[in-house]
Structure 1
């Protein structure tokens, strides 16, 4: 008897779905248009933001100007914790388009487009045109993808290279076993896919570091073991492929190690990059400890937000997985006389996990995940006991089955890894495409069986009902804010009107929302109106179209609702620029110099960590001094013997204040009280915005020209 697998849910839906789905050329045109509207149009505003955004852009700027493609530097200080590829791309973009926000974020935006197109292409080959179209739509209209590409961070590029490597892994194996597969459209030889896989993996390492190897090889090893395709390991070209990988990835690591020695406690690049930034970061012992860890319940539940609105259809995915498991059990019954002595072992793991959690602070999710793995492996082995020797644990015959298995393993690995490690919300970005693709396939299949399967119909209805209720609730909230602020004037600097509640110490990506007040809401009338209309109308239209069996139109309506919301969100994001960016302070300094109100021979000083005003450093394009700023990203690099003398103490500031060349002091909101106590009335206010201030130590040379 031929055994079914757990992965049959998507089989047989291709022909009927393709007949009413946009042709490939039309689908690609729609996806490109959406990308232009959502991502490309957003490249011009707002300016680079303080903290990571402008810090990373400054590193790329240094590369573009110095030509040093090995050692990253920020404000003249070695910046050794990051892999170089995103900064190489940023430096190239700066050389082509100038030093601005558009050039800084262009590589990320292109990465989003390529990720959507790769998802479309993968789903098109493995599943059907409808699932492919939905994969592209969801990639471009998912909250997490939109939100976490507003900043200069490498996650989207890492996701792209890892997805290419995973796709090529399947293609190289599939091309080898075409005669046993229903997919016979291998375009190139297995060697081409294998070497592309190793190349993409090397680029992933140059994008984010060794974590790329953990994700790829972790998923690949489990996949090969379960599918039995480890027998085709030669098609992956491991020996020559590893050599190609090293040729691409090793030179930068070697040069960076050789050029960056003699830092703190004699440590250099190798210790800081490999041990501190990889091993100790995972264990939560990185120096300095400036990263948070989300609580477990928040870490997992937030993925419903990051994948919104398509996470509304996760019920269809869970149902299809359950039905597939039931089919697998029915077609692969366990032997009647098999002993059940193994059953106690997963429970023992759970008990031991409780002890380890209390004694050694080992995350309990790890033990639960291990117990689940034991259950699954035991179930698979029981049902394999009557099979011939060498039969794989899971029989995956089609590219659809292979893709489902590999994507499920990969997404699970990424999520579990960062549930154990220190994390930020966007760290699980590499799992988004896998989850989006599986959701798209589940939605396409549920649409196919909508009329015949009450379960599929029920879960789709639940998704639309939830979307509609949320839409109405959001719209009412926004309309209430609009009504209460209807008589209030619009203040350009919204930061002056925010509450500054500091929810989550602003480590959460949407913490600024909690700072909104009635007066500040007046500045958001346009985006709030657009969002209210989108959420009030869009979900209802999508639900109505679904009830009329117009499935494609209903799903497109969901995507268009998200698109309208993202446009409104970007407008609001730009309105927050005075609070999130300090570019206006750099503009003020440059204007004062141009007007000769101050001499160009001045010293710009930032009070506190450079991240408070990193956009000033970028837009001024020159070195600034830091008071009590030998911290976070400046700490390790500042210990090298050739580090420029940019670090000052509060006592140093008092000593030089009012003497020598003019001093310009930028003070973030968090340090205003400290500076007031330190300098008292011995300072002149030049500019103020969103609670941040620019002081100088003497009157202007030409006061009448004060901006």
Structure 2
């Protein structure tokens, strides 16, 4: 039986490939989410840099009730859209100021993204692809890695993909089939239902929420993909079903008020600029051109930008060649069908009954919800990837393309499993994918086993930061610059996660390959997902072990401990040396703003130019002038600034605490309890 016949029988359910029933599939997805994402909400603590900065902005919002102007350390923080901080502030009000509350909205967004992928794929490609899409979202490396800190990309992906799904639902025609002596062709549609109006308004609401999550880039991605899709499919005649007038009013009603209020409340900054210039011009257009002020962002080299997506989508990226093969086959088949239909339509007597638009505006026929889904997802993912290949970028910026790419890979994998015995190219590339996964797994397991063996006699050290080959990570601005050079002794602190990961890599890929050879395709793919899940759990455990280096919670707790023991007065003055991002978790856990020494930089520059900005910025001379006078001073010094502070203060300092190279100094001896 040919591949096409197999696929047609599968569509009619004549051929019943093994699938999990919906309740069991959803239970599996929910269980994975609970183990991989929900369980990781409690540790590690809030991290320094972006995680702490965003948590501080949400903390200020929760305490002040000001839902318009974000502030960090009392300074206006105008470069971000507000919705992620609204959600975090609400979470703080419900659950308190802690790690769980800070990261809960993001974890919920991951679950909703997986469910959206499941429901969309179930409608477009049936149950097996739906399960694979959900599994891929919950177990791919990039989704896990880029939700360890609170950044808005997963929310943006959720809202944009929801808007695209609503768009597709509204524009999709309920096609019937007209059989003729020349074949079967798509005919006129049924009258659109009232339900589509709800989808239309859902599209505008989702788009407004996307704008409130990330800004104008959401409009670029959505309308760019929608425009190309409408042109290619010839569905521009149905645009009226999207409720462009009332929908646009609804969009403005949701998205416009915050922008207007933020502009009115934040005027008179640097060079007379206010929110409108900084947010729209500086943070959107100048950032895209690489001319943003301050210039604190880098751009990944092209070869890294593209190749790293094999890592971010791992292990599912191994099946990408199958998606490419499937896409090429579908393209050629439907293009041929389209040309055939165009020629035959000319000779039909009842041509008025035929929907010519399907064939007139598309080079290849897109006459099903599945093919239209494939087309829209391809356009959208391509646009996102190309946009950030031109713009300044960080590794996680292309996160909104992950769900479309994973759904396309899942659909291709399902198709390859159905046609495994009849299509040599699918069978060959599945074999190659499993071979690569097995080689990677064995290599990783071997490397981890060697590290464990070499550190077998070394003692466990809680602060792994002291065992790392430290680099000047502060000199880098790309998010993944915090990959550290592990030393042999550091494996002693990573025995549990290293053992868990080694076990998963040594067994999982081989079992998945064996199951594939035995034609137990569903079990094979689930084993791939479970192997990745175990590795992600191990990665999280390792991540927790790095907490003393990535977070300064221990130092904040040391200050609170000394205050509770009456060794220092509560009327002290906490200062941070350098940019606030070096120790942004300290003010979060202290619950108070701190002063910055030589820290008027990065995201603090523009907000500091407003006339009502608090006087929190000091220079080296100011520090020397106040050091040892007045109330007690406590100075946080990051590893990157230790030499500078040692030279500045000399012996005129007392060490209170040190962890992973970060230090707390005070200007006088401790009090007597």
Gaps in structure 2 of 5+ consecutive residues: 178-185, 341-355
Q: Is the CA contact (8 Å cut-off) linking 1:191 and 1:236 kept in structure 2?
A: yes
- Residue 397 of structure 1: how far off its partner (Å): 1.1
Q: Is the CA contact (8 Å cut-off) linking 2:176 and 2:188 kept in structure 1?
A: yes
- From 621, 642, 647, the equivalent of 1:672 is 642
Q: Structure 2: how far apart are the matches of 1:596 and 1:17?
A: 75
- Residue 177 of structure 1: how far off its partner (Å): 6.4
- Residue 174 of structure 1: how far off its partner (Å): 1.9
Distance 1:107 1:499, change over 3 A: same
Task: Note if 1:162 corresponds to 2:132.
Answer: no
Q: Is the CA contact (8 Å cut-off) linking 1:10 and 1:442 kept in structure 2?
A: no
- Residue 392 of structure 1: how far off its partner (Å): 3.7
Deviation sequence 1:288-341 (CA, Å, 0-9, x none): 01011000000000000000000011111111122223324544669xxxxxxx
Task: Note if 1:197 corresponds to 2:203.
Answer: yes
Q: Is the CA contact (8 Å cut-off) linking 1:9 and 1:320 kept in structure 2?
A: no
Task: Note if 1:115 corresponds to 2:109.
Answer: no
Q: Structure 2: how far apart are the matches of 1:491 and 1:182?
A: 71
Residue 308 of structure 2 is matched in structure 1 by 302
Residue 457 of structure 2 is matched in structure 1 by 487
Q: Structure 2: how far apart are the matches of 1:388 and 1:568?
A: 50
Residue 292 of structure 1 is matched in structure 2 by 298
SS of 1:80's partner is coil
Deviation sequence 1:367-416 (CA, Å, 0-9, x none): xxxxxxxxxxxxxxxxxxx9999544443111001100000000000000
Alignment of 1:359-370 (within 5 A): none
Residue 534 of structure 2 is matched in structure 1 by 564
- From 228, 233, 239, the equivalent of 1:233 is 239
Q: Structure 2: how far apart are the matches of 1:498 and 1:415?
A: 34
Alignment of 1:321-332 (within 5 A): 321-328=327-334, 330-331=336-337
Distance 1:523 1:184, change over 3 A: farther
Task: Note if 1:276 corresponds to 2:286.
Answer: no
Residue 311 of structure 1 is matched in structure 2 by 317
Q: Is the CA contact (8 Å cut-off) linking 1:8 and 1:401 kept in structure 2?
A: no
Residue 368 of structure 1 is matched in structure 2 by none
Q: Is the CA contact (8 Å cut-off) linking 1:176 and 1:235 kept in structure 2?
A: no
Distance 1:457 1:119, change over 3 A: same
Task: Note if 1:218 corresponds to 2:216.
Answer: no
Q: Structure 2: how far apart are the matches of 1:292 and 1:503?
A: 14
Deviation sequence 1:40-83 (CA, Å, 0-9, x none): 00000000000000100111111111100000001100000000
Task: Note if 1:524 corresponds to 2:481.
Answer: no
Distance 1:658 1:472, change over 3 A: same
- Residue 189 of structure 1: how far off its partner (Å): 1.8
Gaps in structure 1 of 5+ consecutive residues: 1-6, 335-385
SS of 2:663's partner is strand
Instruction: Answer with 169-178 or 182-191: which moved more.
Output: 182-191
Q: Is the CA contact (8 Å cut-off) linking 1:227 and 1:393 kept in structure 2?
A: no
Q: Is the CA contact (8 Å cut-off) linking 2:578 and 2:641 kept in structure 1?
A: yes
Residue 183 of structure 2 is matched in structure 1 by none
Residue 28 of structure 2 is matched in structure 1 by 30
SS of 1:515's partner is coil
Alignment of 1:226-265 (within 5 A): 226-265=232-271
Task: Note if 1:399 corresponds to 2:399.
Answer: no
SS of 2:459's partner is coil
Q: Is the CA contact (8 Å cut-off) linking 1:53 and 1:152 kept in structure 2?
A: yes
Q: Is the CA contact (8 Å cut-off) linking 2:384 and 2:401 kept in structure 1?
A: yes
Q: Is the CA contact (8 Å cut-off) linking 2:233 and 2:358 kept in structure 1?
A: no
Q: Is the CA contact (8 Å cut-off) linking 1:13 and 1:128 kept in structure 2?
A: no
- From 648, 655, 662, the equivalent of 1:692 is 662
Q: Is the CA contact (8 Å cut-off) linking 2:335 and 2:365 kept in structure 1?
A: no
Deviation sequence 1:410-450 (CA, Å, 0-9, x none): 00000000000000000000000000000000000000000
SS of 1:68's partner is coil
Q: Is the CA contact (8 Å cut-off) linking 2:44 and 2:544 kept in structure 1?
A: yes
Q: Structure 2: how far apart are the matches of 1:187 and 1:487?
A: 71
Q: Structure 1: how far apart are the matches of 2:141 and 2:323?
A: 19
Task: Note if 1:320 corresponds to 2:344.
Answer: no
- From 632, 636, 650, the equivalent of 1:662 is 632
- Residue 126 of structure 1: how far off its partner (Å): 0.8
- Residue 641 of structure 1: how far off its partner (Å): 0.6
Alignment of 1:431-442 (within 5 A): 431-442=401-412
Deviation sequence 1:582-627 (CA, Å, 0-9, x none): 0001000000000000011110000000000000011111110000
Q: Structure 2: how far apart are the matches of 1:396 and 1:616?
A: 55
- From 451, 462, 483, the equivalent of 2:432 is 462
Alignment of 1:91-170 (within 5 A): 91-170=89-168
Q: Structure 2: how far apart are the matches of 1:530 and 1:541?
A: 16
- Residue 544 of structure 1: how far off its partner (Å): 0.4
- Residue 659 of structure 1: how far off its partner (Å): 0.4
SS of 2:440's partner is helix
Distance 1:599 1:447, change over 3 A: same
Task: Note if 1:40 corresponds to 2:10.
Answer: no
Q: Structure 2: how far apart are the matches of 1:10 and 1:169?
A: 27
Residue 356 of structure 1 is matched in structure 2 by none
- Residue 18 of structure 1: how far off its partner (Å): 5.5
Q: Is the CA contact (8 Å cut-off) linking 1:182 and 1:398 kept in structure 2?
A: no
Residue 87 of structure 1 is matched in structure 2 by 85
Alignment of 1:420-439 (within 5 A): 420-439=390-409
- Residue 199 of structure 1: how far off its partner (Å): 0.3
- Residue 514 of structure 1: how far off its partner (Å): 3.5
Q: Structure 1: how far apart are the matches of 2:212 and 2:439?
A: 44
Q: Is the CA contact (8 Å cut-off) linking 2:335 and 2:364 kept in structure 1?
A: no
Q: Is the CA contact (8 Å cut-off) linking 2:17 and 2:418 kept in structure 1?
A: no
- From 612, 617, 624, the equivalent of 2:594 is 624
Instruction: Answer with 170-179 or 566-575: which moved more.
Output: 170-179
Q: TM-score, normalised by structure 1?
A: 0.88
Residue 363 of structure 1 is matched in structure 2 by none
Residue 466 of structure 2 is matched in structure 1 by 496
- Residue 509 of structure 1: how far off its partner (Å): 4.6
SS of 1:92's partner is helix
- From 504, 508, 515, the equivalent of 1:545 is 515
Distance 1:81 1:387, change over 3 A: closer
Alignment of 1:313-352 (within 5 A): 313-328=319-334, 330-331=336-337
Q: Is the CA contact (8 Å cut-off) linking 1:11 and 1:400 kept in structure 2?
A: no
- Residue 188 of structure 1: how far off its partner (Å): 5.6
Residue 471 of structure 1 is matched in structure 2 by 441
Q: Structure 2: how far apart are the matches of 1:122 and 1:214?
A: 23
Distance 1:451 1:435, change over 3 A: same
